[in-house]
Structure 1
Amino acid sequence: MPESVTVHEGVTYAERESGELALDLYRPEVEDPPLVVYVHGGGWVAETRANIPDPERYAAEWGCAIASVSYRLQEVPDGADVEVDPSNPTPRGAFPDHFVDVKAAIRWLRAHADDYGYDATDVAVWGSSAGGHLALLAGVVDDVTDLGDAFADELTKTVAPDASGAVQAVVSWYGVSDFTAVDDEGGPVSLLFGGTREERPERYAQASPVTHVTPESPPTLLMHGREDEMVAVEQSRRFYDALDDAGVNALRYELHDLNHVWVEDLADIESERVAMDLLAAEPTHAQSVYEATHVPEGGTPTPLLADLPPAGPDAIRRFLERTVG
């Protein structure tokens, strides 16, 4: 394990009308480590980039530079049935600002790789919950301007526009993949798209990662609790099936008795910062693993993980080594 990790906190990567957007970068003392971009959860309306599981530890153990990025959170109008923390300093906007910012951070990080000493040739993106949705979307939509006609007037590249925003691997914890299967009238999803699924069908479809899956989509590692009451496990199943149908390698872990953020009861949710500890707790949680490995004509099988370790940091490490390491 590397002896130390260099931390760069509060690095500004974008200036928006509502304020500055920053990232925290954790770089292990190894030569040219690959880059992992972390996107926090919080229902698109809450939390900050500090909501990341032990980044210094995993930067060291995985030998990866990890960047935890801020993105504009959804503006919540007075009277909306969605709670927000008024002390959260993160700038706010309206979807697709969240996606625009994640892509901007990826481009900025790729453009500044030499400045900070990591290798951004291949980039992995990892997200949880709302961040899982944004990570999946960043994986299957290479250029921010390709999200779709429903958002065309709101998609611009002002940050490192000449750099690529494409990613080569995705890790999603309990992220939404198909909004057309979500009923959320009055909740954060209808707030996100400015109306119900029936009122804004194009936005619901084009913001859904499953809509954009192609044979060129990156390999993906999905982890989801079967008892998730906030984002149904069916969301990860739909995305996995779409990748499999397109001939893209994928892995899906289902944790049998776990809810959102790897707790057994929603009342026990604390923070994503302790989520990895819960996921990797002993004894190992009962789980099922599904693997889609596609073999090129005349080739040999190259699975994403050779021996399918339990869900947790070791599985993520091995996936990253296989895809971007």
Structure 2
Amino acid sequence: MEHVTVHEGVTYADRPAGEMKLDLYLPERENPPLVVYVHGGGWIAETRANIPEPEQYAAEWGVAIASVSYRLQEAPDGSDVKEMYDPENPTPRGQFPDHFVDVKAAIRWLRAHADDYGYDAAAVAVWGASAGGHLALLAGVVDDVTDLGDAFADKVEQTVASDESGAVQAVVSWYGVADFTLTDDVEGIIPLLMGGSQSEYPDRYEQASPVTHVTPDSPPTLLMHGREDEVVDVEHSRRFFDALDEVAVDAIRYELHDLNHVWVESVEDIESERVGMELLAADPTHPQSVYEATHVETGGSPDPLVADLPPAGPEAIQRFLERTIE
């Protein structure tokens, strides 16, 4: 594997709750495009270390990779999600939309410091899994945090590298949450995020949903989801794909048959995302269905997002990135 330069624990924002940091992996390539990784963990757990082999994929794909921390959800005493809360996790905590505000701040900070580290500020993709998939999708379809919606107007502020754009040129989502209105829970992590149930705050649920913000200007998107996902139903990726297709934005969706969250067969087998790519790559013949939305201007010819449709896994992501941010 070629040499990759690693910058760990780089501070991109100083919040009242603490410093927000990122890790940056740079391949031996002049001015590579940038992939911003957003980890999962139910918006409340895990750290930016929850990423599949960033040095390996920075080298193999020829991209810079930044794995970013974001403020995790606080869990009040007596909360029914307390079992997800790790008091030893050093990541600062807050309340949604702090998670999204931080991801956007990291993107702007990375764009502002592109010349310092040597990657291409004009070619940025965001990739996330599960809760991180939600934040990645939202970062793709909402350019400015202040555009999230009036339900959160008093909760968002753009203070980090505010002169830079937070827009991205492509999105990769692994089993990301796309539509909060699919849930009617009155307890659990989503009501905690939204400050209450959907019946109490319908506007929050709608405006926090990436699918709400899809427009013809949304970036091309690669979606991968297990059909038997019991944590984030595959319907989330289906709805997001259909919304992109409806407004003529190119997208591709992989559905892996019989697989649950994090590419396992049973929720009891779920491990961290660090092994997610390894699980995908281990069985490239696993049954899967692929759906393409490729839109052609009048007189043009089709230009698919992923040439020859390799199995879901690192090669498919690499080809998508080559098509969208190279």
TM-score computed with the length of structure 2 as normaliser: 0.98
Q: How does 1:131-280 map to 2 (within 5 A)?
A: 131-280=132-281
Return the alpha-carbon distance in structure 2 between the equivalents of residues 92 and 233 of structure 1: 29
Letter in 2 for 1:17: P
Q: Is the aligned partner of 1:54 residue 2:62?
A: no
Cα distance per residue 1:255-294 (max 9 Å; x no partner): 0011001111111111110010011113521100000000
Which deviates more from structure 2 when the two are superposed, residues 181-190 or residues 247-256? 181-190
1:285 aligns with 2:286: yes
- Give the Cα separation in 1 of the matches to 2:302 and 2:144: 30
Equivalenced residue count is: 324
2:249 is aligned with what amino acid? V
- Which SS does the other structure have where 1:254 is aligned? strand
Query: How far 1:306 moved relative to its partner?
Result: 1.8
Aligned to 2:323, the other structure's residue is in SS state helix
| Cα 1:15–1:242 shift into 2, 3 Å | same
Whether contact under 8 Å (2:227, 2:255) holds in the other structure is yes
Cα distance in 2 for residues equivalent to 1:124 and 1:35: 6
What's the offset of the Cα at 1:185?
2.1
Which one-letter code corresponds to 1:24 in the other structure?
A: D
2:33 paired with 1:68: no
TM-score normalised over the length of structure 1: 0.99
Task: Quote the Cα distance in structure 1 between the aligned partners of 2:285 and 2:138.
Answer: 30
Give the 3-state SS of the residue equivalent to 1:301 in structure 2. Answer: coil
* CA shift for structure 1 position 298: 2.1
Aligned to 1:306: 307
Q: Partner amino acid for 2:121?
A: A
Mark the runs of 5 or more structure 1 residues left unpaired by the alignment: none
Q: What secondary structure sits across from 2:109 in the alignment?
A: helix
Distance, in Å, in 2 between the alignment partners of 1:159 and 1:80 is 32
Can you list the C-alpha shifts for 1:140-173, whole angstroms capped at 9, x where unaligned?
A: 0011110000000111111000000000100000
RMSD value, Cα = 0.8
Overall identity of the aligned pairs, in %: 79
Q: CA separation in 1, counterparts of 2:123 and 2:204?
A: 30
Partner-residue secondary structure (3-state), 2:123: strand
SS of alignment partner, residue 114 of structure 1: helix
Is 2:14 the partner of 1:15?
Answer: yes
Q: Output the amino acid matched with 1:60.
A: A
Q: How does 1:34-49 map to 2 (within 5 A)?
A: 34-49=33-48
> What letter matches 1:319 in structure 2?
F
Distance 2:183 2:308 in 1: 34
TM-aligned CA deviation for residue 233 of structure 1 = 0.3
Q: Which runs of 5+ in 2 are unaligned?
A: none
Amino acid at match of 1:171: V
Distance in 2 of aligned mates of 1:80 and 1:275: 29
**Where has structure 1 moved over 3 Å in runs of 4 or more?**
none
Q: Deviations over 1:112-145 (max 9, x none)?
A: 0000011120210000000000000000001111
